[in-house]
Amino acid sequence: MADILRTLSQFAIARSAIREVHLIETSEALKTAQKDVLEPADKPRTWTTHWLDSLDDLPPDNEKFTIIVAHEFFDALPFHLIQKCDDGWREVLLTSGPDQSSKTVLRADPSAPPSAPRILESTGARFHRVLAPAPSAVSNLLGGSSKRFAALPVGTQLEVSPSAFKIARRVGELLAGDPAAPRAVPGCALVVDYGGEKSFSNSFRAFKDHKIVDVFHRPGECDLTTNVDFAYLKEALSDLATPHGPIPQATFLERMGLALRVEALKKAAADDQRRADIERAAKRLTDRTGMGSQYQVLGVTGAKHAEGELTPEQRWPFVQA
């Protein structure tokens, strides 16, 4: 956000147009860290910065243009893991037990009653995945929450985030505004995250000290993430606003002029080492075997009730190659 505000402030019209900055943050420690960075920037500016616990706390404003940026936001939301069975969708739950010395697949106890959960796998930690003994209202609701899921074969597992659907829906509401209002101003959004325009079954992972570790390793101390199903986000908001993309991060940055920006930074660099660091960092962002394709960028415009379709220039960089 500091980078965004600093960039916009270089343009007089943009700087004078900013009225409020809202950050969605539930951690008190991170709120304090963000205030240390952002509040000094408020003093010579025309805007004020606010912290909210939820996007629901931000009311729509039909007379202001709202810009929403969600960078590595949706991948951190809670999700349900469900599995398609002959009798419907069942949840994959967690149970606890003795630590295992190594990763092993555990079979169900033949003496256990049919209603007992079936252990799917032990990871070596004291937490283990188990398959619920029967479908539930939650699992069937999530399994039916997208038409795409109906054709999946028995045995398929799905990572489904109702929180992501709800928040994406709220994004659509904020951008659309009230079409009946005489001065309704649609907004726009940019979503940047790991994932793709498809569902995922086994993307849940944990990071500790910049390394991937077992998801049950030191709970509460690791960064947990799942890939974002961008198709699911689009389904949540497409009747309210217009989604564009997603496109790979590499394509987005290249179309937005990354090469020109890199050359300008290299010219201003103090020495060859700094110039090499800049070029190396840019290549990492656009590496199509890594971050350049793993990150996807989704654009959203609140133009459902606007007259006419957007031109290619208005949709840029979200256009067909």
- Residue 157 has φ and ψ, to the nearest 5°, of -105, 145
What's the whole-model pTM score?
0.87
Using alpha carbons, select from 10, 48, 76 the residue that is nearest to residue 222: 76
Same domain, 206 and 58: yes
Q: How far apart are CA 132 and CA 153, in angstroms?
A: 18
- Pick from 64-78, 161-175, 199-213, 294-308: least confident: 294-308
pLDDT at 99: 55
The per-residue DSSP string of 264-303 comes to HHHHH-SSHHHHHHHHHHHHHHH-TTTHHHHEEEEEEE--
Same domain, 204 and 302: yes
Domain contains 255: yes
pLDDT at 128: 83
Same domain, 197 and 283: yes
Same domain, 69 and 198: yes
Same domain, 141 and 213: no
Same domain, 146 and 285: no
Summarised one tens digit per residue, pLDDT across range 1-22 is: 999 998 888 898 988 899 999 9
Same domain, 69 and 155: no
Summarised one tens digit per residue, pLDDT across range 218-277 is: 888 899 999 999 999 999 999 999 999 999 999 999 999 999 999 999 999 999 999 999
Domain contains 32: no
Same domain, 148 and 110: yes
Mean pLDDT of the chain: 87
Domain contains 9: no
Same domain, 84 and 127: yes
> 125 or 75: which carries more pLDDT confidence?
75
Boundaries of domain holding 71: 54-78+161-315
pLDDT at 194: 94
Yes or no: say if 283 and 291 are a contact pair by the CB < 8 Å rule: no
Summarised one tens digit per residue, pLDDT across range 98-115 is: 655 444 444 444 455 555
Provide long-range contacts, Cβ within 8 A and 24+ apart, for 50-59. Answer: 50/20, 50/21, 50/22, 50/23, 51/22, 51/23, 51/25, 52/22, 52/23, 52/24, 52/25, 53/24, 53/25, 53/26, 54/24, 55/24, 55/167, 55/170, 55/171, 55/174, 56/170, 58/22, 58/174
Query: What percent of the chain stands above pLDDT 90?
Result: 64
Cα of 227 vs its chain's centroid, Å = 8
Last residue of some domain: 131, 159, 187? 159
Same domain, 60 and 200: yes
Same domain, 67 and 171: yes
Instruction: Write the CATH number for 270.
Output: 3.40.50.12710
Domain contains 133: yes
pLDDT at 117: 56
Last residue of some domain: 159, 191, 207? 159
Same domain, 174 and 304: yes
Domain contains 27: no
Last residue of some domain: 137, 159, 181? 159
Domain contains 17: no
Statement: residue 123 has pLDDT above 60: no
> 303 or 209: which carries more pLDDT confidence?
209
Domain contains 266: yes
Provide long-range contacts, Cβ within 8 A and 24+ apart, for 36-42. Answer: 37/2, 38/1, 38/2, 38/5, 41/2, 41/5, 41/6
pLDDT at 105: 44
Statement: residue 42 has pLDDT above 70: no
Domain contains 23: no
Domain count, the chain: 2
